[in-house]
Amino acid sequence: MTLNANEVQVAVDGVVLSGPTSASAPTNTGPGAPAGFVNLGFVSDEGISESNPQTMEEIRAFQRSAVIRRVVTAGEQTVSFTLLQTNAAVLAEYYGGTVSADGSIIVNNLRARPIRSYIIDVIDGTQIMRTYIPRGQITEVGELVYAAGQPIGYNVTVTAYDVPSIDGSSVKFYASLGVATVPMITAVSPSGAGAGAMVRISGSSFTGTVATVGVRFGGVNATAFTVDDSFTIYATLPAGSAGSAPVIVQNAEGSSVAFAYTRAV
């Protein structure tokens, strides 16, 4: 193994999302998340803690009582974090209920909290480590502390349950380890921009976009463009006629499917 400082990653940013188990599963590290997931907002500076303990039992032979094998008898994956925003989504997670129209929520500690899906992203620049938990349940909550000058924090522990279809309790995606693919465009905004205007192109696999010809509007090279990260490009529209101007992004692996876009003059 060679020494590579680029592989030393730091949890600079992140996001925790929660959704129903019926929500579509993510297939990569982004951008964004499938419909149905809600962002649970700020997490305390203690960050996100993941635990993956195993219990193993020794099998000993008659001869000299030697250990000849160890088998896993129990295993569990948990993720813990403290949410800092007081809103309907966070309260529903913490108490396992629903906030009513009058702002009330019933606390019933004899009722199990619902099983939901979770997406947890740990971000270091363009590198994303995504954990997708198809079936997770909040199995432990911390004490609520109301103290002067201190934010109210909702500490929760999510237990990830085994899912036969994935042969495990979660799926891990690492942007830095993905196989290079052609770009994919999911959005271009604002619509109806004209020559000289800057637009934002959203999608994936933008890293390595080819210089000069990497972004085209209706077959014409963008006047200029900046690859902000693997998911975002800012491009300046070239001169052209009003109407259809399909957007194409090209990297070393090839060109994206043309994304329909209507421009002004």
Last residue of a domain, one of 142, 177, 212: 177
Residue 153 shares a structural domain with residue 215: no
Residue 15 shares a structural domain with residue 97: yes
Residue 138 shares a structural domain with residue 197: no
The pLDDT value given to residue 175: 81
Taking the C-alpha atoms of residue 246 and residue 262, their distance in angstroms, rounded to an integer, is 8
The pLDDT value given to residue 7: 86
Last residue of a domain, one of 124, 152, 177: 177
Residue 109 shares a structural domain with residue 210: no
* Cα–Cα nearest to 197, from 230, 245, 231: 245
- pLDDT over 70 at 245, yes or no: yes
Residue 106 shares a structural domain with residue 228: no
Residue 119 shares a structural domain with residue 216: no
Name residue, tokens 């800057």: 198
Residue 88 shares a structural domain with residue 210: no
- pLDDT over 80 at 263, yes or no: yes
CATH number, domain at 208? 2.60.40.10
Residue 153 shares a structural domain with residue 54: yes
DSSP label of 259:
B
Last residue of a domain, one of 132, 159, 177: 177
Residue 123 shares a structural domain with residue 216: no
Residue 10 shares a structural domain with residue 117: yes
CATH number, domain at 31? 4.10.410
Residue 20 shares a structural domain with residue 118: yes
What does pLDDT average to over the chain?
93
**List of residues 6+ apart from 48 with CB closer than 8 A:** 11, 14, 16, 79, 80, 81, 120, 122
Give residue-wise pLDDT tens across range 176-205: 787 667 889 999 999 999 999 999 999 888
Residue 161 shares a structural domain with residue 212: no
Q: Which carries the bigger pLDDT value, residue 4 or residue 80?
A: 80
Q: 230: domain range? A: 184-263
Total structural domains in the chain? 2
The pLDDT value given to residue 210: 83
Taking the C-alpha atoms of residue 13 and residue 6, their distance in angstroms, rounded to an integer, is 17
Going by their DSSP bridges, the two strands 243-244 and 115-124 should be labelled as unpaired
> In the numeric block, which tokens belong to residue 135?
């079936």
**List of residues 6+ apart from 37 with CB closer than 8 A:** 17, 18, 19, 23, 117, 119
- pLDDT over 70 at 78, yes or no: yes
Q: Which carries the bigger pLDDT value, residue 31 or residue 59?
A: 59
